Structure 1
Amino acid sequence: MEGASETGRDGYTTSRLAAASGYSLQQVRDLERLGVIPPAVRRPNGYRSFGAVHLAALRAYRQLAVAVNPVNARAVMGEARRLPYDEAIARLVALHVELARARNDSLAALHALESIVEEDRTSAAPSSADAMSITELAAALGVRSSTLRFWETQGLITPDRPTRSGARSYPVAAVRDARIVTALRAGGYRIPAVQAILTSVHSVSADDARHALQDRLHAIAIRSEALLRAGTAIADLISYENDAIVDDRLTDGAESDRAALS
Structure 2
Amino acid sequence: MGEPGSGPQRIPLRTVDVARASGYSVQQVRDLERLGVLPPAARSDNGYRSYTPLHVHALRAYRGLAGAVGPVVARQLLAQLRTGTTAEAASAVNAVHVRLAREREEALRAQRALRATRAEAHTTEFERESDAMTITELAGALGVRPSTLRFWEQEGLVMPERVTSLRARRYGLPAIGAARIVVALRGAGYGIPAVREILGSLHRLDGVGEAQRILRQRLEGIATRSVALLRAGADLAAVVESAPEPTAT
What's the TM-score, normalizing by structure 2?
Answer: 0.70
Equivalent residue, structure 2, for 1:142: 133
Question: Residue 181 of structure 1 contacts residue 194 of structure 1 at CA under 8 Å; is this kept in 2?
Answer: no
Match of 2:182 among 181, 185, 199: 185
SS in 1 for 2:36: coil
Alignment of 1:72-91 (within 5 A): 72-91=73-92
Q: Which structure shows the higher helix fraction?
A: 1
Q: Which amino acid aligns with 2:73?
A: N
Q: Which amino acid aligns with 2:223?
A: A
SS in 1 for 2:45: coil
Identity %: 43
Question: Residue 57 of structure 1 contacts residue 237 of structure 1 at CA under 8 Å; is this kept in 2?
Answer: yes
Structure 2 segments unaligned to the other structure (5+ residues): 1-8, 136-145, 161-171
Q: Select between 228-237 and 78-87 the one with higher mean Cα deviation.
A: 228-237
Alpha carbons of structure 1 residues 23 and 153: separation in structure 2 relative to 1, 3 Å: same
Displacement of 1:61: 0.3
Alpha carbons of structure 1 residues 142 and 207: separation in structure 2 relative to 1, 3 Å: farther
- Give distance in 2, aligned partners of 1:117 and 1:210: 14
Match of 2:220 among 213, 218, 221: 218
Equivalent residue, structure 2, for 1:206: 208
Displacement of 1:26: 2.9
Post-superposition Cα deviations, 1:130-175, rounded to whole Å, max 9, x if no partner, equal 99xxxx979855254998875453243799xxxxxxxxxxxxxxx9
Post-superposition Cα deviations, 1:98-153, rounded to whole Å, max 9, x if no partner, equal 11111111111211211224556xx59xxxxx99xxxx979855254998875453
Equivalent residue, structure 2, for 1:15: 16
- Give distance in 2, aligned partners of 1:108 and 1:208: 17
- Give distance in 1, aligned partners of 2:224 and 2:241: 26
Alignment of 1:103-182 (within 5 A): 103-118=104-119, 123=122, 141-144=132-135, 150-151=151-152, 153-156=154-157, 178=175, 180-182=177-179
Question: Residue 65 of structure 1 contacts residue 72 of structure 1 at CA under 8 Å; is this kept in 2?
Answer: yes
Structure 1 segments unaligned to the other structure (5+ residues): 1-7, 125-129, 160-174, 250-262
Quick check: 1:235 aligned with 2:237?
Answer: yes
Which has the bigger relative contact order, CA under 8 A and spacing at least 6?
2
Displacement of 1:92: 0.7
- Give distance in 1, aligned partners of 2:19 and 2:41: 13
Q: Which amino acid aligns with 1:239?
A: E
- Give distance in 1, aligned partners of 2:42 and 2:147: 58
Alpha carbons of structure 1 residues 200 and 22: separation in structure 2 relative to 1, 3 Å: farther
RMSD across aligned positions (CA) = 3.6
Quick check: 1:51 aligned with 2:19?
Answer: no
Question: Residue 102 of structure 1 contacts residue 188 of structure 1 at CA under 8 Å; is this kept in 2?
Answer: no
Equivalent residue, structure 1, for 2:142: none
SS in 2 for 1:39: coil
- Give distance in 2, aligned partners of 1:75 and 1:197: 34
Question: Residue 41 of structure 2 contacts residue 50 of structure 2 at CA under 8 Å; is this kept in 1?
Answer: yes
- Give distance in 2, aligned partners of 1:207 and 1:179: 20
Alpha carbons of structure 1 residues 67 and 158: separation in structure 2 relative to 1, 3 Å: closer
Alpha carbons of structure 1 residues 36 and 150: separation in structure 2 relative to 1, 3 Å: closer
SS in 2 for 1:11: coil
What's the TM-score, normalizing by structure 1?
Answer: 0.67
Alpha carbons of structure 1 residues 60 and 196: separation in structure 2 relative to 1, 3 Å: farther
- Give distance in 1, aligned partners of 2:68 and 2:80: 16
Poorly superposed stretches of 4+, deviation over 6 Å? 136-139, 145-149
Quick check: 1:195 aligned with 2:187?
Answer: no
